[in-house]
Amino acid sequence: MADYTVNAPRPRNERAQTWEYRLYFSVIFVLALATGLITWSWRLASTGRFPATGPIGRALKDAHVIAPIIFRS
């Protein structure tokens, strides 16, 4: 039988929601949004089709990936 007082399951890894994290996240989001809009419009003009993800979704995804890397080191 498992002793959960000693071997308790680890809590989920949650991102720190400090002002510093939000500042880095917002800066990264704005930069990713600017490049995402340029890339999205270029792909739309060159292929004539909409890309799979929009510029806001892509920028959010990039910011969610890059911001925790800054705090990991």
Over residues 7-16, the pLDDT tens digits come to 665 666 655 5
pTM for the model stands at 0.71
Answer with the residue of higher pLDDT: 71 or 47: 47
Position 60 scores a pLDDT of 95
Contact 70, 24 (CB under 8 A): yes
| Residue 14 φ/ψ, nearest 5 degrees | -105, 145
DSSP 53: S
Q: What is the band of 6 on the pLDDT scale with cuts at 50, 70, 90?
A: low
Position 12 scores a pLDDT of 64
DSSP per-residue codes, 27-54: HHHHHHHHHHHHHHHHHHHHHSS--SS-
Provide CB contacts within 8 A for 28, sequence distance 6+. 62, 63, 66, 67
Residues listed for the chain: 73
